[in-house]
Amino acid sequence: METDFMQSEMNHYDSAADHIRRSSTPTSDPTRALREPIRQSYLGWLSAIRSAPSPQRVLDYCAGLGQHTLTLQNEHPRADVVGIDISAKSLQVGIASAARLAAGKKRPTFLQMDAHRLDFPDAHFDLVSDFGSLSSLRFDLAMAEIVRVLRPGGLFVAVETFGHNPLTNLKRRFNVARGTRTTWASQHILDMEQVSEMRKLFGDFRVEYHVFFSLLLGGLPFKSETLSSALGRFDDWFLNRLGFLRKYAFKVVVCARKRP
């Protein structure tokens, strides 16, 4: 196990969480993605997690600030939802968010844990959700653990950044220089080869490609849900119409079931 890169990832996300905790409202916003360029990929993820038939146990794999953990709990209010992450400070933001936004409701559990070595038994979860964590991990070890803890017939849903667009790859280099992304994460973005490897691990397997022109919205000084929706839907039409451009999509949504 490469401990150096894991320590770097933890330090990065601890620092980001510290910044949020020092802000005036130290909680995460589960609805923010609807106003962002990634809107359509978020909606694809949301539709996929809603397709899980009354899961009893749900894992938010690398939960970060916990906003998606809260959404998983809201969508499956009777389920036991667990969010794990290596960054304890990020999880503290998630706990604060749950206390503020889920008052009077069933709340998820947050646990600090190495995603490469999950402290759960085999076939424990009905639904495992990943929202952009694989670039921060060893892909082979992460996928092995996800498959291990997922029950036969269980659902795996992932939203990941795709690594084939030269413009977004260039921007990642700037982000590394600015300190907003780690070197490891910038160099381990999901690609077509890894999607193919993922496909071999599951039975039913579906991939959606999202976000192309919508990236232009990231440079605007305001966030418009209406504009994000319109341009996102055009992107989906465009990427489906011209399939050879799918590899240049910014986001992919994977929905897969473990073989019985």
Question: pLDDT tens-digit profile of 79-99?
Answer: 999 999 999 999 999 998 888
Distances (CA, A) of 93 to 2, 158, 174: 27, 22, 27
> What's residue 105's pLDDT?
85
Pick the CATH number of 3-257 from 3.30.565.10, 3.20.20.220, 3.90.420.10, 3.40.50.150: 3.40.50.150
The answer to which of 94-98, 123-127, 150-154 has the lowest mean pLDDT is 94-98
d(CA 80, CA 176): 36
161 pLDDT higher than 90: yes
24 pLDDT higher than 70: no
Average pLDDT, the chain: 91
d(CA 220, CA 241): 27
d(CA 203, CA 258): 6
> What's residue 30's pLDDT?
63
Distances (CA, A) of 104 to 13, 61, 96, 99, 237: 29, 25, 14, 9, 41
> What's residue 180's pLDDT?
85
Q: What is the pTM of this model?
A: 0.93
Listed in sequence order, the residues at least 6 apart from 32 whose beta carbon sits closer than 8 Å to its beta carbon are 67
| β-strands 80-85, 57-61 pairing | parallel
